[in-house]
């Protein structure tokens, strides 16, 4: 692993003759951005198509509860409990959402509020929440080489899922009843999708932050929708906007000495508003 990373670092230093690239933490952060942002771009299009923006936001908030449960059971590494709780949370929430007992938005809002409050209650015992406050905004500059490897694995899994299941997932988003009549296993595909969202959100949340992770998922897809004339353009624009926002936001955060995650969101939001103004011209 070390030899591979050293080779990648050497290539980056040759291709990018900028002062920030001399630092290993910036190299790691840039590599992470180049993995996370196209991942968020593709996943964001599927989330927007399936009208699940609130769902991914609720999953982000559930990280607090997952971490709190891990602490209660004395688990030193909180990533395991966070992942496990997020998967269970996502499947349970999806089951209730499909049951039709109450409005989907209502269920998601209730679960999101409960998971946030429960996590805060447990983590704030004895006034210790300040130790975990960094999770709210994240710190992509703290990512390590071995963690980049984990992101790369989930990156490959996501694109394989997108390649094999996108048509079926798109059919479900358009009309679930019609999809069932075509013998598409609606609940199974939806469950795989929400588990994938849970894994990606939890694996990236400590570097992106609870407060802004949903914005990074939704904004590039929303901006792409303003420009795209077809599905292929929609995905292409979403990935390009996401990568551009990530790289520019990271570089600006270095020179302006500001938090990288929020800066990336600001760039993505500005692009969204620009595309919103251009939408009448593009859609003519």
Q: What pLDDT digit, counting tens, does each position of 99-113 carry?
A: 766 566 677 777 777
pTM, rounded to two decimals:
0.83
Alpha-carbon torsion (240, 242, 245, 246), positive or negative: negative
pLDDT tens digit sequence for 19-47: 888 888 888 888 889 988 898 888 888 88
80-112 burial, b at 16+ Cβ within 10 Å, e below that, comes to ebbbebbbebbeebbebbeeeeeebeebbeebb
Average pLDDT over residues 41-55: 80
**d(Cα 74, Cα 186) in Å, to the nearest integer?**
38
**pLDDT score at 188:** 83
Q: What angle (nearest 5°) sits at the alpha carbon of residue 186, between those of residues 92 and 171? A: 130
Kindly report, residue by residue over 120-145, the tens digit of the pLDDT: 777 776 556 566 666 666 778 788 88
Domains recognised in the chain with CATH numbers: 21-282 (1.10.3470.10)
Share of the chain above pLDDT 70, in %: 90
The contacts of residue 26 (CB under 8 Å, 6+ apart) are 20, 141, 250, 254
Q: How confident is the model at residue 266 (pLDDT cuts 50, 70, 90)?
A: very high
Alpha-carbon span 65 to 70, nearest angstrom: 9
Q: Does residue 275 register a pLDDT over 90?
A: yes
Most confident of 56-70, 74-88, 164-178, 229-243: 229-243
The model's confidence at residue 1, banded by pLDDT at 50, 70 and 90, is: low
pLDDT confidence tier of residue 242, bands split at 50, 70 and 90: very high
* Span 42-63, average pLDDT: 79
Cα 248 to the center of its chain, rounded Å: 18
Q: Quick: pLDDT tens for 177-217.
A: 777 787 888 788 888 888 888 888 887 777 777 777 888 88
Quick one: average pLDDT of 169-179?
A: 76
Q: Measure CA of the first residue to CA of the last residue in the chain; give whole Å.
A: 51
């Amino acid at each position: 692993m070390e030899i591979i990373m050293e080779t990648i670092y050497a290539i980056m230093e040759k291709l990018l003759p900028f002062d920030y690239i001399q630092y290993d933490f910036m190299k790691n952060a840039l590599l992470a951005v180049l993995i996370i942002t196209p991942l968020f771009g593709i996943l964001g299009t599927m989330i927007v198509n399936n009208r699940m923006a609130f769902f991914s936001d609720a999953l982000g908030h559930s990280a607090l509860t997952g971490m709190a449960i891990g602490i209660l059971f004395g688990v030193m590494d909180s990533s395991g409990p966070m992942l496990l709780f997020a998967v269970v949370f996502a499947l349970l929430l999806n089951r209730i959402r499909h049951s039709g007992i109450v409005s989907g938005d209502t269920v998601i809002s209730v679960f999101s509020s409960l998971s946030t409050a429960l996590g805060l209650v447990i983590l704030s015992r004895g006034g210790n929440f300040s130790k975990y406050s960094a999770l709210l905004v994240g710190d992509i500059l703290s990512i390590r080489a071995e963690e980049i490897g984990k992101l790369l694995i989930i990156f490959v899994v996501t694109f394989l899922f997108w390649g094999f299941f996108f048509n079926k997932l798109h059919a479900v988003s358009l009309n679930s009843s019609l999809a069932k009549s075509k013998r598409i296993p609606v609940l199974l595909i939806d469950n795989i999708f929400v588990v994938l969202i849970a894994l990606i959100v939890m694996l990236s949340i400590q570097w992106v932050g609870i407060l802004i992770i949903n914005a990074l998922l939704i904004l590039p897809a929303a901006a792409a929708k303003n420009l795209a004339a077809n599905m292929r353009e929609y995905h292409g624009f979403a990935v390009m906007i996401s990568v551009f926002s990530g790289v520019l936001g990271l570089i600006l955060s270095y020179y302006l000495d500001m938090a990288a995650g929020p800066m990336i969101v600001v760039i993505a939001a500005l692009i969204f508003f620009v595309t919103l103004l251009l939408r009448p011209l593009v859609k003519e």
